[in-house]
């Protein structure tokens, strides 16, 4: 293989004046995590609302939830990011569009919201399945106790459903982290983006990508371990996963 | 701003978008799904084979691929595949692999990790009595898998496999990062050449949406039909 | 008798073949001969060097030069047929794809500098251009210092984004630098007010402006980030026999006056797809270089 390996490259200064190439990659990692966490919050909040709507008795709510999920699930994430980043500001009134485009860190906000909404459809589906898996008696018992629908969801159904769907939510969170890499296309310099710019500046392709790969594996391991602990902590007694 | 929406730019670029772009996307999707299914089934069989080392290697491969963003994997393979080719064939210099072949290898390797998990679940869903019965009938391991286990696992998992293929269809749009003219790449080339981002990206979104919607509707119907037979 | 003749023919053929390969082809030339194909890397929007026309076929000044090189290679290898494969590249992918054998020649607007020469080789220079920025006249920018704290775009993997990054540090501009995938995408960022300026080689900026919806809205900075730097067709490093053929082909092209003809076709006449005329007559420096072709990465060698 006629390739000049140079593993020392990580400790050489990067042209951005922000320290070494390793610092460059770590700043990318930090941005990946920030974007992923913000996106995950958006996904959890909107996904929960939509997921609940899909289980409500109201026909209108059900159809809204259905349309929402289909909309965000049937388009590639990349296309959705393009819609948010390139198309939305152009079809808004000029002043609003300009404000959007000149936001500092526009790629960061666009990526967080874009990935967040994309993932929210998946969260909604998981939550709907979680609520659907609960015995019908729980909802009826809540009603019999005089709880309103809101209270029934808040105190009975959701605490159960979320604990049941925790394992699939873990993998959806991991997917969120991975999906932030797609934002490289709208100029977000997250981990994959920084690995690529390191490759461009230093020409050390394989070192750069190897380092990014290792960092992703580490993040994955940390998240999986953390979630395992959380899963054990909140497990419902009496279920297979319970104590 | 939608007032000066230019339908003409879409109409003029339709032949390019579909003959070149969509053909690339659909060929890549179909071949990757097929290759990913075959390779994924092999991985699933390795994991369930009972040989510890074999199972562990397969497990590591799946975990490894599932930990990485597809964009990173696409970059990796585009730059690495020629060197792997050189290493495999013992050639004196890297083997030239075109954009299409390189993407195909990438997607097969990547999707195999996901297909293998589905096939593993499918194989595990088959009751233990069946392979035991096959064994009693004198079928070899290969015959048991080929005639008894895999056909049922595949059938049971068909809706999930097809749903994963729809995800794969959407994921192929990521070859955009390599400037390869798949459907989205073609749309963006026209968009940038003519400065018509709004029209082209909305149209691309509409086409992806329609195809995915129709496909997932089909999968849902299939699912209910299979459910009735069972 | 018949048998003897065919054996004789076979022997003769074997002999001829062994004689042809007496010089023992290596590297790219051997590969081209073995596969009967050569792969050219082309760009999406390096107008007028290498870009897609209305039929999405790559055309341009650098593409024309590359086809001349292909002819020379075909002649050198005494091939009746040489298949030309085309592979799209971006600024970010071109060097790894050259190194890993995906492309044999990169026909575009690649700056030849000493740093890149550690990774790849370049043949004789086909253009000289300096790094500047384009902006909307309405933004009132003038100098490089005016970019302070602004959002500036450049194309990922270019020398320009590196120069911009370095200037950003050296002058303490604190500009927010966004990398774009290709020139057209970067220019659109300025056109849609996502970024105030796009830093790139001035010739590419001029072509993008000329091809835009309202060319009068844009201006190109007087300030430059670099001296005029040479563009070269890129080839693999450490492949002397191939470089020799390519160098000879380009030198013959440039000194014969045909180089100037191809130059005029792309820079002073209407070009596809929109019938644009860039009106950029050949510079004295380039004229001089065409008379005495050079593959030097040093800008000072072209004065």
A interface with B, Cβ–Cβ below 8 Å: 1-3, 70-71, 73-80, 82-83, 86-87, 90-94, 97, 174, 178-182, 184-185, 192, 195-196, 205-206, 209, 212-213, 216-217, 220
A contacts of B208 (beta carbons < 8 Å): 74-76, 79
pLDDT at B229 over 80: no
Q: Which of residues 86-125 of B touch C (CB under 8 A)?
A: 86, 93-99, 102
Q: Which residue has the tokens 């259905």?
A: A66
Q: Quick: pLDDT tens for C79-95.
A: 999 999 999 999 889 99
Q: How far is A3 from chain C (nearest CA, A)?
A: 8
- Write the residue in A3, A101, A104 that is nearest to C99 by C-beta: A3
Query: Do A163 and A230 contact (CB within 8 A), yes or no?
Result: no
Q: Quick: pLDDT tens for A165-187.
A: 999 999 999 999 999 999 999 99
B contacts of A81 (beta carbons < 8 Å): none
Q: Quick: pLDDT tens for C257-283.
A: 999 999 999 999 999 888 889 999 999
Domain that holds residue B166: 2-229
Give pLDDT, residue A240: 59
* Domains of chain B: total: 1
Give pLDDT, residue B197: 87
CA B88, B93, B95, B99 torsion: positive or negative? positive
Q: What percent of chain B has pLDDT over 90?
A: 68
- Write the residue in B76, B86, B197 that is nearest to A87 by C-beta: B197
Q: In which band, very low, low, confident or very high, does the pLDDT at C241 lie, cut at 50, 70 and 90?
A: very high
Q: In which band, very low, low, confident or very high, does the pLDDT at A239 lie, cut at 50, 70 and 90?
A: confident
For residues B180 and C97, what is the distance between their CA atoms, to the nearest angstrom?
13
CA C206, C210, C211, C217 torsion: positive or negative? positive
pLDDT at C1 over 50: no
Q: Rounded mean pLDDT of B56-81?
A: 94
Q: Is A102 on the interface with C (CB under 8 A)?
A: yes
- What domains sit in chain C, N to C, each tagged with a CATH number? 23-129+229-302 (3.40.190.10), 131-220 (3.40.190.10)
Domain that holds residue A27: 19-234
| A13 located within any domain | no
| A77 located within any domain | yes
C contacts of B4 (beta carbons < 8 Å): none
Query: Do B172 and B107 contact (CB within 8 A), yes or no?
Result: yes
Q: Could you write out the DSSP letters of every residue in chain A?
A: ------GGGGGSBPTTSSSBHHHHHHHHHHHHHHHHHHHHHHHHHHHHHHHHHTTSS-HHHHHHHHHHHHHHHSS-HHHHHHIIIIIHHHHS-HHHHHHHHTSTTHHHHHHHHHHHHHHHHHHHHHHHHHHHHS-HHHHHHHHHTT--HHHIIIIIIHHHHHHHTHHHHHHHHHHHHHHGGGGGGGT---HHHHHHHHHHHH--HHHHHHHHHHHHHHHHHHHHHHHHHHHHHHPPTTSTT--
Q: Quick: pLDDT tens for A39-82.
A: 999 999 999 999 999 999 899 999 999 999 999 999 999 999 99
Q: Could you write out the DSSP letters of every residue in B19-34?
A: IIIIHHHHHHHHHHHH
Q: Rounded mean pLDDT of C289-296?
A: 94
Burial class (CB in 10 A: 0-12, 13-18, 19+), B59: middle
Give pLDDT, residue B90: 83
For residues B163 and B154, what is the distance between their CA atoms, to the nearest angstrom?
13
Assigned token pair, B198: 């709004």
Q: Is C71 on the interface with A (CB under 8 A)?
A: no
Beta strand C45-46 with C37-42 is unpaired
Give pLDDT, residue B6: 79
Cβ separation C85–B98 shorter than 8 A: yes
For residues B188 and C293, what is the distance between their CA atoms, to the nearest angstrom?
38
Least confident segment among A212-226, B12-26, B70-84, B185-199? B185-199
**What CATH number should be reported for the domain holding residue A170?**
1.10.3720.10
**What CATH number should be reported for the domain holding residue B142?**
1.10.3720.10
Q: What percent of chain C has pLDDT over 70?
A: 92
pLDDT at A88 over 50: yes
Q: What percent of chain A has pLDDT over 70?
A: 98
For residues B10 and C285, what is the distance between their CA atoms, to the nearest angstrom?
43
Give pLDDT, residue B228: 53
Cβ separation C45–B99 shorter than 8 A: no
Cβ separation C96–A17 shorter than 8 A: no
CA angle A232, A126, A76 (to 5 degrees): 125
Q: Quick: pLDDT tens for C87-140.
A: 999 988 999 999 888 999 999 999 999 989 988 999 999 999 999 999 999 998
- Write the residue in B98, B177, B192 that is nearest to C188 by C-beta: B192
Cβ separation A104–C176 shorter than 8 A: yes
B16-19 — which CB contacts under 8 Å span 24+ positions?
B16/B186, B16/B190, B16/C55, B16/C56, B17/B183, B17/B186, B17/B187, B17/B190
Q: How far is C238 from chain B (nearest CA, A)?
A: 12
Q: Rounded mean pLDDT of A204-222?
A: 95
Q: In which band, very low, low, confident or very high, does the pLDDT at A25 lie, cut at 50, 70 and 90?
A: very high
E strands along chain C, which residues?
A: 37-42, 45-46, 50-52, 58-59, 83-88, 105-106, 120-129, 131-136, 151-155, 176-180, 197-201, 218-220, 229-236, 270-271, 276-277
Nearest to A202 by CA among C165, B77, B48: C165
Q: Quick: pLDDT tens for A93-137.
A: 988 988 888 888 889 999 999 999 999 999 999 999 999 999 989
Q: Is C265 on the interface with A (CB under 8 A)?
A: no
Q: Quick: pLDDT tens for A142-151.
A: 999 999 999 9
- Write the residue in A91, A195, A209 that is nearest to B198 by C-beta: A91
Burial class (CB in 10 A: 0-12, 13-18, 19+), A93: exposed
| A132 located within any domain | yes
pLDDT at C75 over 50: yes
* Domains of chain A: total: 1
């Amino acid at each position: 293989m006629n390739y000049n390996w140079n593993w020392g490259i990580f400790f050489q200064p990067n042209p951005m004046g922000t320290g070494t190439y390793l610092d460059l990659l770590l700043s990318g990692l930090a941005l990946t995590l920030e974007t992923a966490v913000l996106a995950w919050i958006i996904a959890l909040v909107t996904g929960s609302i939509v997921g609940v709507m899909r289980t409500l008795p109201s026909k209108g709510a059900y159809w809204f939830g259905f349309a929402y999920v289909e909309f965000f699930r049937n388009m590639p994430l990349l296309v959705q990011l393009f819609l948010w980043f390139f198309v939305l500001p152009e079809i808004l009134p000029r002043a609003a569009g300009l404000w959007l485009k000149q936001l500092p860190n526009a790629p960061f906000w666009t990526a967080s919201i874009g990935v967040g909404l994309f993932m929210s459809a998946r969260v909604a589906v998981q939550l709907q399945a979680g609520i659907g898996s609960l015995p019908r008696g729980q909802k009826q018992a809540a009603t019999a106790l005089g709880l309103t629908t809101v209270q029934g969801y808040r105190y009975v159904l959701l605490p159960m459903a979320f604990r049941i769907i925790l394992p699939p939510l873990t993998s959806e969170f991991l997917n969120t982290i991975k999906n932030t890499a797609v934002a490289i296309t709208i100029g977000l310099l997250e981990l994959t983006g920084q690995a690529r710019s390191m490759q461009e500046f230093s020409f050390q392709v394989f070192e750069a990508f190897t380092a990014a790969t290792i960092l992703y594996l580490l993040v994955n391991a940390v998240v999986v371990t953390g979630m395992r602990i959380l899963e054990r902590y909140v497990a419902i007694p009496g279920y297979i996963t319970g104590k | 701003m939608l007032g000066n929406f230019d339908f003409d730019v879409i109409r003029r670029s339709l032949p390019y978008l579909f003959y070149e772009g969509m053909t690339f996307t659909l060929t890549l999707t179909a071949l990757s799904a097929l290759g990913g299914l075959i390779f994924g089934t092999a991985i699933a069989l390795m994991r369930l084979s009972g040989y510890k080392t074999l199972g562990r290697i397969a497990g590591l491969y799946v975990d490894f691929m599932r930990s990485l963003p597809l964009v990173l994997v696409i970059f990796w393979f585009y730059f690495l595949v020629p060197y792997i080719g050189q290493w495999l064939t013992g050639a004196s210099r890297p083997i030239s692999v075109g954009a299409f072949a390189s993407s195909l290898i990438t997607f097969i390797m990547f999707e195999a990790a996901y297909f293998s998990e589905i096939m593993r679940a499918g194989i595990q869903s088959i009751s233990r009595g069946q392979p035991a019965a096959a064994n009693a009938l004198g079928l070899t391991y290969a015959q048991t898998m080929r005639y008894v286990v895999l056909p049922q696992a595949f059938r049971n998992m068909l809706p999930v496999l097809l749903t994963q293929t729809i995800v794969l269809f959407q994921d192929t749009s990521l070859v955009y990062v390599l400037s390869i003219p798949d459907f989205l790449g073609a749309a963006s080339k026209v968009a940038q050449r003519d400065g018509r981002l709004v029209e082209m990206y909305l149209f691309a979104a509409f086409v992806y949406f329609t195809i995915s919607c129709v496909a997932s509707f089909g999968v849902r119907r299939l699912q209910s039909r299979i459910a009735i037979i069972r | 008798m018949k048998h003897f003749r065919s054996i004789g023919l076979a022997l003769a053929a074997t002999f001829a073949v062994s004689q042809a390969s007496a010089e023992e082809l290596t590297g790219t030339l051997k590969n081209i001969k073995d596969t009967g194909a050569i792969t050219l890397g082309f760009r999406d929007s390096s107008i007028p060097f290498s870009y897609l026309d209305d039929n999405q076929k790559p055309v341009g000044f650098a593409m024309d030069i590359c086809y001349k090189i292909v002819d020379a290679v075909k002649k050198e290898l005494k091939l009746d047929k040489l298949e030309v494969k085309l592979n799209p590249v971006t600024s970010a992918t071109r060097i790894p794809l050259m190194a890993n054998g995906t492309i044999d020649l990169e026909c575009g607007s690649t700056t030849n500098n000493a740093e890149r020469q550690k990774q790849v080789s370049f043949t004789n220079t086909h253009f000289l251009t300096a790094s500047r920025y384009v902006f909307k006249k309405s933004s009132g920018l003038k100098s490089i210092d005016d970019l302070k704290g602004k959002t500036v775009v450049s194309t990922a993997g270019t020398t320009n984004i590196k120069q911009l990054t370095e200037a950003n540090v050296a002058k303490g501009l604190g500009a927010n630098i966004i990398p774009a995938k290709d020139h057209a995408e970067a220019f659109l960022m300025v056109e849609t007010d996502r970024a105030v300026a796009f830093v790139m080689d001035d010739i590419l900026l001029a072509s993008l402006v000329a091809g835009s919806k309202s060319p009068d809205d844009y201006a190109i900075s007087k300030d430059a980030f670099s001296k005029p730097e040479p563009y070269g067709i890129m080839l693999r490093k450490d492949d002397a026999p191939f470089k020799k053929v390519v160098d000879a082909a380009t030198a013959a092209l440039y000194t014969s006056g045909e180089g100037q003809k191809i130059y005029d076709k792309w820079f002073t006449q209407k070009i596809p797809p929109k019938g644009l005329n860039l009106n950029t007559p050949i510079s004295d420096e380039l004229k001089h270089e065409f008379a005495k072709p050079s593959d030097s990465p040093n800008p000072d060698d072209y004065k």
